[in-house]
Amino acid sequence: MAYPLDIFVKFKRQGIKNAAFKVTTNVINRKLKEERLAAASTTLQTRRRKQWRFFLRSVMPSILKALLYISLSSRCI
């Protein structure tokens, strides 16, 4: 992978104008892409955490009640 300075030097040798602007734009776009990916993974983690919390609060008690009922009814028989 080429570093921004290497790209800048290459652009200058080829005589391309605004080489610094192009390099800076590339670096900024890459950083923005990395930040978007990080934000997306954070959002996914938050969503998973909320789903797990919902499961523990609403579904798990009914499962535990059913298991308790089954275990008590099997002892009585």
User: Residue 31's pLDDT is what?
Assistant: 80
Q: List, for residues 33-72, the tens digit of each pLDDT value.
A: 888 888 888 888 888 888 888 888 888 888 888 888 888 8
Would you place residue 12 in the very low, low, confident or very high pLDDT band (cuts 50, 70, 90)? low
> Is 11:22 a contact under the CB 8 Å cutoff?
yes
CA distance 37 to 35: 5
Q: DSSP for the chain?
A: ---HHHHHHHHHHHT-TTHHHHHHHHHHHHHHHHHHHHHHHHHHHHHHHHHHHHIIIIIHHHHHHHHHHHHHHHHH-
Q: Please tell me whether the overall predicted TM-score, pTM, comes out greater than 0.85 for this model.
A: no
Mean pLDDT of all residues in 14-27: 64
- Enumerate the domain spans of the chain: 4-76
Where does the pLDDT of residue 17 fall: very low under 50, low under 70, confident under 90, or very high at 90 and above? low
